[in-house]
Amino acid sequence: MLLLGTGLVMMLGIVAGRYILASDHAYPVASPIQFDDFAFSALSVKEIPAGSTSIYELAAKIENRAKRVDYHFDANVPQVFDGDRKMPVANPAAPETEGTLHAGEKSVRHFRFYGRPGLKATTVRFYTGGDFGEFMDTVLSGRAHTLVSVSR
Q: List, for residues 72-92, the tens digit of each pLDDT value.
A: 887 778 888 876 666 666 665
Distance CA 8, CA 4 (A): 6
Sign of CA dihedral 25, 30, 32, 38: positive
Q: Output phi, psi for 65, to 5 deg.
A: -90, 5
pTM, two decimals, is 0.76
Pairing of strands 89-90, 106-115: antiparallel
Give the tens place of pLDDT for each residue, 37-75: 889 999 999 999 888 888 888 999 999 999 999 988 877
For the segment 107-136, the average pLDDT, to the nearest whole number, is 81
Domains of the chain in sequence order: 2-151 (2.60.40.1240)
Q: Output phi, psi for 69, to 5 deg.
A: -105, 130
Q: Which residue in 150, 151, 147, 134 sits closest to 19, CA to CA?
A: 134
Q: Work out the percent of the chain whose per-residue pLDDT is above 90.
A: 18
* 69, HSE (Cβ side, Cα atoms, 13 Å): 10
Taking phi first (over 0 means left), then psi (-120 to 50 degrees means alpha), and beta for anything else, what does residue 142 get? left
Residue 122: pLDDT band (50, 70, 90) is confident
Give the tens place of pLDDT for each residue, 123-152: 888 877 666 766 766 666 677 778 788 888
Q: Output phi, psi for 141, to 5 deg.
A: -140, 10
Which strand (E) or helix (H) includes residue 6?
A: helix 2-20
Q: Higher-confidence residue: 105 or 28?
A: 105
